[in-house]
Structure 1
Amino acid sequence: MAENASIKNELLAQESSIADSISAPEARFECPICLNWLRDPVLTSCGHRFCRRCIQPWLEDNPTCPVDNMKLQKDHDIFPDNFTRREISQHRTKCPNIVRGCYEELSPLDVEAHLIICKFNPPQLPDNEKLRCLFVDCGCEEKFEDEPERQKHLEKDMQRHLTLMSQTLSKVVINNTSSTSASAIAQQANFWDPQPKGEQNSNFTSNESIDALLKSLYEKIVILEQKSREQDIIISNMSNQIAATNLAMSKIALRHCNGCYLWFINDIKNKINTMRNNTYTMFYSPGFYSSPNGYKLCVRFNLSTRNNSYIAVLVHMMKTEHDNALDWPFSGRISVSIVHPNDPNKNIKETMMTRPELEAFRQPVQELNTKGFGYTEFASLEDIIEQGFIDANQLIIKVQVQPV
């Protein structure tokens, strides 16, 4: 279960990274101030382009070009750049909500207006219901509206999380060693030995003992600091190795599952509420393979558009690097099950044969075939909740694919 959750988290992080790379502007269309697509582009007399709303406030405080420091007057040295505006309007970028299911392609100039009305915007949750960072016990206080935002945060702030984790570990190590090292240092310095009777220079001996103790303590602190640094390096290396191993294992598991895939849908209650608030919200599983060099598919889960008291489960074909070596359209048997966590006799299972004449089973021309095939009213949402299919805020969907 933990391995499948790790696979999903890794894919979500990869999807967020893909969305970022798609949205990144070319250098000639990037505003040097906000580092984003040029909005209402203007051209300065010194030949540089900026967003109008970025350069005007800048010139009010500092009448020089941010790039080459040439003197500029906002009323005489700023000109509309309609040519650049037309070039940008011909480009297309994905909606930032692509990881939540919005595949709208827009002009970069229209992204902000689209986000105001986008049906895939994350729900605005009260502060006490927001998702916490997985490193909250190490000191990260970030909160998020939904799972994709948290996964994006985990990917971008990995270095800070490793630092927090190493600091927490260092405190634990120092606390565990302090009790034993204190007694050992005291013995080395003879701190607890009573003074001999009749000692003439007892004050001098006491001062020597304290000096020896302080010296020993200083040496121990230096040793502990060195060990702490070594452990930080070891933890960092191990974390990198674990991340690389998890990524490799996730790819291996998805490719070598032989068409039998278990999709563990975490945070299912929040996902159901999101779909109830927006019936166009859909969730997709990672892509899995019918065989190591076979067909690639994924599962879609959403509320039925006909009756939102039912859930829809559909299968989509996905693009691979070896599609030309496969037989198209895809033909075979597909079984879909909702797995009961405690009683396999209660599993909800349906089996369907593919229909080659449908577009859903043709060779994909993009990453994901927009047409899916399956059940628009697979199971009642009320039955799923009341019969205990949701356990630990998780729902399990099993898919078996057998090409013929």
Structure 2
Amino acid sequence: MAGNSNNLNLAQESCISDPDQLQAPEARFECPICLAWLRDPMQTSCGHRFCRKCIQSWLEREKACPVDNKPLDKDNDIFPDNFTRREISQQRLKCPNIIRGCSEDLSPLDVEAHLLTCKYGVPKLPDNEKLRCSFVAFGCDSKFEDEPEQQRHLEQETQKHLMLLSQAYSKLILNNSASTSSAAIAEQANFWDPPSKNDSNAMQISSNSNESVHNLLRSLYEKIVVLEQKNREQDIIMANMSEQIASLNLTVSKLSLRYCNGCYLWSITDFKNKINQMRVNHQIMHYSPGFYTSTYGYKLCIRFNLSPKDPTYVAILIHMMKSEHDNSLEWPFTGRISVTIVHPLDSFQNMRETMMTRPELEAFKRPVQDLNPRGFGYTEFVLIEDLFAQGFIDNNNLVIKVNAQPV
């Protein structure tokens, strides 16, 4: 049982896997504070760029750079960055309403103002007016608050609209038949009458009927084309929204790693497959994303692999990582680290061990590369069969919680 410290080996171990995937690049014209395009860019004496309002608001609360924590004076250490301002103004973006016909090329900072006056934007209906169904002429009296609701109606009520079209066509045929029958009866009644100057009336009625059918078919074809165009527009909008949501999720994920205050919950997915792969190749190791003890604190990650001494055990170790704030931190890292394997149903069954760092070990010295190759932790934390037998594997996932607190 891993909860008994007699079965745990606290050790320092070297890693083999490549940790390059643990870092991601930053955008060139992105403000590190608001994560948007730089507006009225300012450069600090330490070489970083921010929006004017962002850095001024920041320095009213903090007296240091948000990126490297170097002391800054808002009156003497920030300067307008005209070069970056010109570069951003030369960037061109298409109006988001391009799918509706707008071909404007805009500076990234002008897009928001342009959308307020863009004639290709979706018009806002008055409060007392609602959108009508495209098949209102055929008897559908549905009304909608906005275009998405109208589009859902068109997609869900296809059968109803086809029925309305069929009924309208049947009525048209009946009317045409009635007109033809009336014309035939009148022709028979007047067969023995002298020829009239208006002999062409019957042919005129038939011609008008054919023209009505032709006009109806043309109208239906035009409506189908419009609906296909709107469906295509919706597909493009949904694709763009999916990209934006993915980008926002990535940003939120990065922020959660920085502001977790040293308490990180790592969910290891596809656990059974990972165990089988490590049994075949003992050199395989898995690393968590890097997380911080505080906003400008130490950066660490969790390592998970089979024990090199006994492959029936799971090893869990902690690695120090290189960060942009290492110059302002005290080395070696000194503190308390607790490691917990979380039970998905009963917290009383959680397996938890706490260790104090050892400053004399290489594992806690300042990293000279992205990941310190020396790890510190438990080489025999728990038997693999105990994880399965005691219900720690939920939906093929294992959750490990680490709480690292400097002292």
Structure 2 length normalisation: TM-score? 0.54
Match of 1:227 among 226, 230, 237: 230
Separation in structure 2 between the aligned mates of residue 184 and residue 312 of structure 1, nearest angstrom: 68
Question: Secondary structure at 2:241's aligned position in 1?
Answer: helix
Partner of 1:178: 158
Partner of 2:260: 257
Contact 1:313 1:376 in 2 (8 A): yes
Contact 2:314 2:382 in 1 (8 A): yes
Match of 1:326 among 310, 324, 329: 329
Contact 2:22 2:290 in 1 (8 A): no
Pair 1:280-2:283 in alignment = yes
Higher relative contact order (CA 8 A, sep 6+): 2
Residues 130-166 of structure 1 deviation map (CA, whole Å, 9 limit, x = unaligned): xxxxxxxxxxxxxxxxxxxxxxxxxxxxxxxxxxxxx
> What count of residue pairs does the alignment treat as equivalent?
241
Amino acid at match of 1:217: L
**1:397 to partner: Cα distance:** 0.3
Structure richer in helix, relative to its length? 1
Pair 1:309-2:312 in alignment = yes
Separation in structure 2 between the aligned mates of residue 270 and residue 288 of structure 1, nearest angstrom: 25
Match of 2:341 among 335, 338, 343: 338
Question: Secondary structure at 1:194's aligned position in 2?
Answer: helix
Structure 1 length normalisation: TM-score? 0.55
**1:199 to partner: Cα distance:** 3.4
Separation in structure 2 between the aligned mates of residue 16 and residue 335 of structure 1, nearest angstrom: 22
- Written as runs of structure 1 = structure 2, the 5 A alignment for 1:78-97 is none
Partner of 1:104: none
Partner of 2:394: 391
**1:17 to partner: Cα distance:** 9.9
Partner of 1:357: 360
Separation in structure 1 between the aligned mates of residue 216 and residue 230 of structure 2, nearest angstrom: 21
Separation in structure 1 between the aligned mates of residue 228 and residue 261 of structure 2, nearest angstrom: 50
Amino acid at match of 2:21: E
User: Do the aligned partners of residues 219 and 199 (structure 1) sit closer, same or farther apart at CA in structure 2, a change above 3 Å counting?
Assistant: farther
User: Do the aligned partners of residues 174 and 272 (structure 1) sit closer, same or farther apart at CA in structure 2, a change above 3 Å counting?
Assistant: farther
- Written as runs of structure 1 = structure 2, the 5 A alignment for 1:1-400 is 15=21, 175-186=155-166, 191=171, 194-195=174-175, 196=178, 198-200=181-183, 207-400=210-403
Separation in structure 2 between the aligned mates of residue 317 and residue 381 of structure 1, nearest angstrom: 26
Structure 2, gaps ≥5 residues long: 1-17, 25-150, 184-201
**1:209 to partner: Cα distance:** 5.0
Amino acid at match of 2:371: L
User: Do the aligned partners of residues 381 and 191 (structure 1) sit closer, same or farther apart at CA in structure 2, a change above 3 Å counting?
Assistant: same
User: Do the aligned partners of residues 15 and 192 (structure 1) sit closer, same or farther apart at CA in structure 2, a change above 3 Å counting?
Assistant: farther
Amino acid at match of 1:279: H
User: Do the aligned partners of residues 277 and 224 (structure 1) sit closer, same or farther apart at CA in structure 2, a change above 3 Å counting?
Assistant: same
Contact 2:22 2:289 in 1 (8 A): no
Separation in structure 2 between the aligned mates of residue 338 and residue 376 of structure 1, nearest angstrom: 14
**1:189 to partner: Cα distance:** 5.7
Indicate the percent of aligned positions where both proteins have the same amino acid.
57
Structure 1, gaps ≥5 residues long: 1-11, 19-170
Partner of 1:22: none
